[in-house]
Structure 1
Amino acid sequence: MHALDGTDPKQFILDFFTSFMNDLVRSSEDVALIVDRYHTPDIVQIADGTRMDRTKLIAHARPAHKHQPSARWEVHEAIADGDRIAARYTLHFQTKKREGRTEVHFFGQFADDGRMRRAHMLTRLVPVKAADAAELGAGTQVGSGQQVESSDRGQMTS
């Protein structure tokens, strides 16, 4: 049985990224422990041609842990086949210094326990209009006044 069996792929990918970010911004736990909770030791993540293994992923996650950004995922579509999932989503984010929106085409493989084993992502930064910035202000508060919100076609989920 796979972690994705019987689970709505849109909800699975939304819950995965939202939980991972929640743990990064709320916890005082070491980033390596958080990364290991969500990724297998042999994780390989390739985003726009840049390859990250476990060590690079931990280094990449440290700024989120330190700067506690707010983020919201809008999953447009997702399909799963066994342990693999393909999804198209938009990541809306805001830090103290900037805000943005990134469209992501995601292809991933997950272990039976729900941890990510492989991921290939193609991304495109989308300009954020001033009116869109107000959307980032609405969400569920998560520690230190920071927020991480999950969204499915713009609707908040729990």
Structure 2
Amino acid sequence: MTTTAESLHLYLTRYPKEMVSAAEDPEAVVDRYFTPDYMFLSDGVAQDRRRLLAHARAVRRKAPETDLEVQETVVEGRRVSARYTVRATINGRRMDTEIYMFGEMADDGRLSRLDQITRVLKRPTE
């Protein structure tokens, strides 16, 4: 069984790439990283399963290239937090977004709660 720190690392390093990859159905990716009853807020907007899957499908079409850099993580019991930057190429233009996330991991290593705030560092250039 993985530790909370290992689970957080897997989420941060694999989830974004797996969600934009067409190699696997996005529903399988969501199920791998989130519990069925997860609560996910992004910039104050609830990301239920339907909305998260719709976002994944749109990103797959528009931004198939992503890179992620983790600046810091904190793990305390099952509570986790991280600050990281996602660099994406959207329709051929680069966009950098900094993300501050706070969450809680379930006993099985999946996220049961996630609250994140995003800040665009570099908007897509025309």
Judge same fold: TM > 0.5, yes or no.
yes
- Poorly superposed stretches of 4+, deviation over 6 Å: none
Deviation at 1:33, TM superposition (A): 2.1
Q: How many residues align?
A: 125
For residue 113 of structure 2, the aligned residue among 114, 118, 130 is: 118
Whole-Å Cα distance in 2 between the matches of residues 50 and 129 of structure 1?
23
Q: TM-score, normalised by structure 2?
A: 0.81
1:74 has 2:69 as partner:
yes
Is the radius of gyration larger for structure 1 or structure 2? 1
Task: Describe how 1:107-146 pairs up with structure 2 within 5 A.
Answer: 107-127=102-122
CA distance in 1, matches of 2:62, 2:117: 24
TM-fit CA distance, 1:56? 1.5
Specify every segment of 5 or more residues in structure 2 that has no aligned partner in the other structure, as ranges.
none
Cα contact 1:2–1:112 (8 A) shared by 2: no
- Cα contact 1:39–1:117 (8 A) shared by 2: yes
Q: What is residue 25 of structure 2 aligned with on the other side? A: 30
Q: Give the aligned CA root-mean-square deviation in angstroms.
A: 2.5
Q: TM-score, with normalisation over the residues of structure 1?
A: 0.67
8 Å CA contact retained: 2:94, 2:124: no
CA distance in 2, matches of 1:90, 1:14: 14
Residue type at the aligned position of 2:114: A
Cα deviation, residue 85, structure 1 = 0.6
Query: Any residues of structure 2 matched to 1:9-158 within 5 Å, and which?
Result: 12-67=7-62, 69-127=64-122
Structure 1 unmatched ranges of 5 or more = 131-158
Q: What does residue 3 of structure 2 align with?
A: 3
